[in-house]
């Protein structure tokens, strides 16, 4: 039975290390910023997820100390990875894609990334100007 757990833990560790490496290699290799965003956010969470599950099983089997607190990190990473990826993508659109290079959004208005400036009313701009002066 111990052999089975050893094989399982080793397989998870190898999978985790491989995917962590592939994620970071994609960061260096892929051609443009949006595809570079794809590699680490997917592969690194899968890699770290496999390593965390391996750690959980290892402490449960060989230390007789089964705690599920590694799952906390896994769930935290799974929840936060899409949010940070979304923010980086937004920053990238804001930096590299002016609104005349983008296709028009459905309906009236502007893409939300470029909307931020258009939404600021004249009064707010004046207030900001005064705050900066005085």
Binding site for other proteins (CB under 8 A): 6-7, 9-11, 13-14, 16-18, 20-21, 23-25, 27-28, 33, 36-37, 40, 44-45, 47-48, 51-52, 54-55, 58-59, 63, 65, 67, 69-70, 72-73, 76-77, 80, 83-84, 87-88, 90-92, 94-96, 113, 116
- What is the spatial distance between Cα 119 and Cα 37, in angstroms, rounded to a whole number? 28
Please say which residue, 88 or 99, places its beta carbon nearer to other proteins: 88
Structural contact between residues 23 and 42, judged by C-beta atoms closer than 8 angstroms = yes
Please say which residue, 7 or 105, places its beta carbon nearer to other proteins: 7
**C-alpha dihedral sign at 97, 100, 104, 105:** positive
Please say which residue, 99 or 113, places its beta carbon nearer to other proteins: 113
Structural contact between residues 2 and 22, judged by C-beta atoms closer than 8 angstroms = no
- What is the spatial distance between Cα 18 and Cα 64, in angstroms, rounded to a whole number? 28
To the nearest whole angstrom, how small is the minimum distance from the Cβ of residue 80 to other proteins?
4
To the nearest whole angstrom, how small is the minimum distance from the Cβ of residue 104 to other proteins?
21
Return all residues near 82 (Cβ < 8 A) that are at least 6 apart.
Answer: 41
């Amino acid at each position: 039975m111990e052999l089975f757990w050893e094989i399982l833990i080793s397989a998870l560790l190898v999978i985790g290390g491989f995917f962590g490496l592939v994620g970071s290699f994609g960061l260096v290799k892929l051609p443009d910023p949006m595809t570079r965003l794809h590699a680490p956010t997917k592969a690194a969470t899968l890699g770290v997820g496999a390593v965390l599950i391996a750690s959980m099983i290892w402490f449960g089997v060989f230390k007789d100390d089964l705690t599920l607190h590694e799952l906390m990190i896994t769930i935290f990473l799974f929840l936060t990875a899409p949010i940070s990826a979304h923010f980086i993508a937004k920053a990238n659109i804001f930096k590299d894609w002016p609104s005349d290079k983008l296709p028009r959004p459905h309906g009236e208005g502007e893409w939300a990334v470029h909307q931020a400036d258009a939404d600021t009313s004249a009064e707010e701009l004046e207030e900001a100007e005064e705050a900066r002066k005085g």
